[in-house]
Amino acid sequence: MKNHLDKEKFVPLKDIGVKIHLWEPRQNYLIWGAGINASKIYLKFKKFSKLKNLIGFFDNSKKPIQKFYGKTIFDKKSLNETLKKKKKILIVKSIPFLSNSTFLNYLDDKIKSNCDISFIPISFFYRPEAIVELTNAPLMQYELGSDEYLSFEDAMERINFVEKNYPDIFNIDLSGSKDPFENPNLTKILKKLDKFTFITLHTNINNENNLKKINQLAKIKKSIQIVIIINEINLKYNPVSLNTIKKYISKISKIRKINIFLRIRYDNYNLFPKLKKNVFKYCLNKVRIIEALGYINSYENILNFITKKKWIDKKSEIESKLIPWRLKDYIRKSQFHKHKPCLCQRIFPVINFNGNINVCHLYDKTNIVSFSKTLSKKKLIRNRYNSNLCRKCQKFALHRLDIDILNR
């Protein structure tokens, strides 16, 4: 039977970008940036032996002549000295929104005249990411005896499946409905991972032990980013004080692996000036502060609001009033980008705690297949492509509902 949603023009889910193992850098190149994205690019270049022509990194905010993965981080002065000897250079932009002219402004006029300079952004490359849940928070009181932490064996089986079927994997997000830091197998899992696989861990710093673990985990695996999510609710309902946060954040490794993620909502505007004044000024050279607009959790809620003109529950309705942007306005804006590819399609597979594989990380109930040792990538992709949810999501242009992109 033909799906009624097929009447809508569907933008197929497909790999976008050049696969790094197929890319051949035939000239000297430089990575612009020395942060998380630069780490991900470097690790993939190293895995597929693409480092022969890499001369280093450029980040003018760093102190002159520092090292990043053993390669030089150039500042403006040292970059100009180096490029004097080059006839041709390719700039790989790890920060995609920076303009080419910004980089050229760092260069002397003579270099701009004599050196052939070209650019490619990080989006030029195929950059798949995956999510593997390590923890589970029981929803009901009677479920409290159920499993809360994924075993080491199950975690590695799922991670190995991702690494085998997606050799270009840029990042694996180890997450869960409970804080992944609480999984007792986490240290063992990190030690076993492929050294070329970049890992992201999120923590809500809901207890002091999680803060203590940050440096320990960063030392175990060099290719890791730890995202600390702080909001009013964390500080209101958990025993972690601002002084405790400051105590541990100030000890964080000098290698910038820690992102402090501040999700802005109407109920926490007053929190950020307090954090900046009392905490972050002590560690700005060690961490990256990200302020991002709050979203409504789970897009099922948004779909329900669009199609039925009501929220799934009272919690969703309250959330909709806390986000600092008008949902209706941005849904209308996203319609103009409806014909473009899904922004979330590169984050796949999403393997939840129970072993179900979801089609998208923005939706809760999107199971397309159960994980097993015999699962093939071909079946996984076929089931994903046939998902009604993707067609329904695109029908209302939610696949383009990204506030930062729509505001550009």
Spatial separation of the C-alpha atoms in residues 170 and 172, rounded to whole Å = 7
220-265 pLDDT, tens per residue?
777 887 777 766 555 555 666 777 777 777 666 555 567 777 777 7
Establish if 332 belongs to a structural domain. no
- The answer to whether residues 238 and 250 touch, using CB atoms and an 8 Å cutoff, is no
Q: Are residues 137 and 256 in the same domain?
A: yes
Q: Which residues sit opposite 92 in a β-bridge?
A: 31, 120
Q: Give the pLDDT confidence score for residue 90 in this predicted structure.
A: 96
Least confident of 149-153, 187-191, 218-222: 218-222
Six-digit token pair at 200? Answer: 């992201």
70-115 pLDDT, tens per residue?
899 999 999 999 999 899 999 999 987 789 999 999 999 999 999 9
**Span 120-132, average pLDDT:** 93
What is the C-alpha R_g of the chain?
A: 22
According to DSSP, residue 98 is labeled S
Helix (H, G, I), strand (E, B) or coil at 301: helix
Least confident of 145-154, 182-191, 215-224: 215-224
Establish if 108 belongs to a structural domain. yes
> Phi, psi (5° rounding) for residue 218?
-65, -30
Establish if 42 belongs to a structural domain. yes
Q: How many residues does the chain have?
A: 408
Given strand 258-264, what is the order of strands in its sheet?
287-293, 258-264, 224-230, 199-203, 171-176, 129-135, 347-351, 356-358, 367-370
Spatial separation of the C-alpha atoms in residues 172 and 189, rounded to whole Å = 12
Establish if 1 belongs to a structural domain. no
Spatial separation of the C-alpha atoms in residues 79 and 92, rounded to whole Å = 15
Q: Give the pLDDT confidence score for residue 10 in this predicted structure.
A: 67
Q: Give the pLDDT confidence score for residue 221 in this predicted structure.
A: 73
In whole numbers, what is the pLDDT of the chain averaged over residues? 83
Spatial separation of the C-alpha atoms in residues 68 and 313, rounded to whole Å = 48
The yes-or-no verdict on residue 301 having pLDDT over 50 is: yes
Six-digit token pair at 74? Answer: 């150039």
Spatial separation of the C-alpha atoms in residues 180 and 280, rounded to whole Å = 24
Spatial separation of the C-alpha atoms in residues 199 and 171, rounded to whole Å = 6
Q: Are residues 111 and 260 in the same domain?
A: no
Q: Are residues 107 and 158 in the same domain?
A: no
Q: Give the pLDDT confidence score for residue 140 in this predicted structure.
A: 45
Q: Give the pLDDT confidence score for residue 224 in this predicted structure.
A: 80
Establish if 134 belongs to a structural domain. yes
Q: Give the pLDDT confidence score for residue 213 in this predicted structure.
A: 81
Six-digit token pair at 175? Answer: 């997450």
The yes-or-no verdict on residue 205 having pLDDT over 80 is: no
51-65 pLDDT, tens per residue?
999 999 999 876 666
- Alpha-carbon dihedral sign for residues 17, 121, 264, 173: positive
Q: Are residues 101 and 45 in the same domain?
A: yes
Q: Are residues 50 and 185 in the same domain?
A: no
| Number of domains forming the structure of the chain | 2
Q: Tell me the whole-structure pTM to 2 decimals.
A: 0.87
**Residue 387 confidence class, pLDDT cut points 50, 70, 90:** confident
**Residue 2 confidence class, pLDDT cut points 50, 70, 90:** very low
**Span 194-205, average pLDDT:** 84
**Which domain covers residue 102, as residue numbers?**
20-124
Q: Give the pLDDT confidence score for residue 280 in this predicted structure.
A: 65
Establish if 318 belongs to a structural domain. no
**Span 324-343, average pLDDT:** 91
265-274 pLDDT, tens per residue?
776 667 767 7
Give the HSE-up count for residue 289: Cα atoms under 13 Å, Cβ half-sphere: 15
- The answer to whether residues 312 and 304 touch, using CB atoms and an 8 Å cutoff, is yes
Q: Which residues contact 318 (CB under 8 A, 6 or more apart)?
A: none
Q: Are residues 190 and 230 in the same domain?
A: yes
Q: Are residues 278 and 251 in the same domain?
A: yes
Q: Give the pLDDT confidence score for residue 226 in this predicted structure.
A: 78
| For helices 208-220 and 242-249, angle between their N-to-C axes, nearest 10 degrees | 20
CA triple 272-240-255, angle to 5 deg: 70
- The answer to whether residues 347 and 15 touch, using CB atoms and an 8 Å cutoff, is no
CATH number at residue 221: 3.20.20
Q: Are residues 95 and 210 in the same domain?
A: no
The yes-or-no verdict on residue 6 having pLDDT over 50 is: no
